[in-house]
Amino acid sequence: MLSFVRRGTRLQGKQLAAWERLSGRYLMDVPRGDGETSVDPAARLDAAALFGRRAPLIVEIGAGLGDAVVAAAAAAPETDFIALDVYRPGLSDLMRKADRAGATNIRVIEANAPEVFGTLLRPGSVDEVWMFFPDPWPKKRHHKRRLVSPSFADLVARVLRPGGRWRLATDWEEYAEQMRETLGGVAAFAPANDGADGFAPRFAGRIETGFERKGIAAGRIIRDLTYVRR
Ligand SMILES: C[S@@+](CC[C@H](N)C(=O)[O-])C[C@H]1O[C@@H](n2cnc3c(N)ncnc32)[C@H](O)[C@@H]1O
């Protein structure tokens, strides 16, 4: 079951021009399996080769239009960032923002997160995983599409180093509770949700995106969650 329904991949105008100009610099060429967002299970990511250095590595799942990851990368030039999404127009905007910010510490992967975490990323190779506002799939019959599940948690645990953090945020209360319940039952993770409300304090490294602003405008409460890899 995929966590997304793929929207248009055809780029036009500025997005097409940015894709053509900037892919060579930012986009990782992913060996594919079956399908255009798939990953060849035999492929492995060599972060040192990708970035030309060894540095702490943060992977953002579902980077969307890229605002959070570009701001974070510009603020932390000593850390490397991989932005992951299946939404090509968003990735094109992200690359444009990275270029404008002069960020050399970002690479983009256009692929399905469970496959990237299942095989492409090496075990214990990642310092932090970020997942901000994953699609909430509010209808009950769609809940099975949600990315946060015990099996996906195992894949995140596989790639995080001991002591590494998985940071999540959502504006969907019932998904926040599902995340807390699901991840609280995963032995590989120690919860660090030490805010007064039983969630984590707002992560200071997370800027407010348009997506978050819409949630707030609609009267929703934003929840942060944090888990430490044991
Ligand atoms: C609701 S948006 C949030 C975007 C961004 N994090 C923000 O806060 O504005 C969720 C994003 O997750 C991406 N996504 C959903 N399922 C995915 C998957 N299996 N692999 C990679 N990206 C995925 C979607 O394409 C979308 O861009």
Q: CB of 172 closer than 6 A to ligand 1?
A: no
Q: What is the pLDDT of residues 31-90, one digit of tens each?
A: 999 999 999 999 999 999 999 999 999 999 999 999 999 999 999 999 999 999 999 999
The whole-number average pLDDT for the span 205-218 is 95
Q: How many whole angstroms from 53 Cα to the centroid of ligand 1?
A: 28
Q: What is the pLDDT of residues 83-122, one digit of tens each?
A: 999 999 999 999 999 999 999 999 999 999 999 999 999 9
Q: Quick count: other Cβ atoms within 10 Å of Cβ 54?
A: 9
Residue type for position 136: P
Tell which phi-psi region holds residue 73, choosing left (phi > 0), alpha (psi between -120 and 50) or beta.
Answer: alpha
Number of H helices, E strands in the chain: 8, 7
Query: All domains of the chain, ordered by start, with CATH?
Result: 13-229 (3.40.50.150)
Q: List strand residue ranges (DSSP E) for the chain, in order.
A: 57-61, 80-85, 106-110, 126-132, 160-170, 189-191, 223-229
Q: How many whole angstroms from 105 Cα to the centroid of ligand 1?
A: 21
**In this structure, are residues 119 and 154 in contact, taking their beta carbons and an 8 Å threshold?**
no
Q: How many whole angstroms from 210 Cα to the centroid of ligand 1?
A: 13
Q: What is the pLDDT of residue 8?
A: 73
Q: CB of 87 closer than 6 A to ligand 1?
A: yes
Q: CB of 86 closer than 6 A to ligand 1?
A: yes
Q: Which residue has the tokens 């707002």?
A: 202
Q: What is the pLDDT of residue 7?
A: 76
Catalytic residue among 46, 93, 127, 135: 135
- Sheet strand arrangement including 189-191: 106-110, 80-85, 57-61, 126-132, 160-170, 223-229, 189-191
Q: CB of 133 closer than 6 A to ligand 1?
A: yes
Active site residue 197: no
Q: Does 211 carry a binding-site annotation?
A: yes
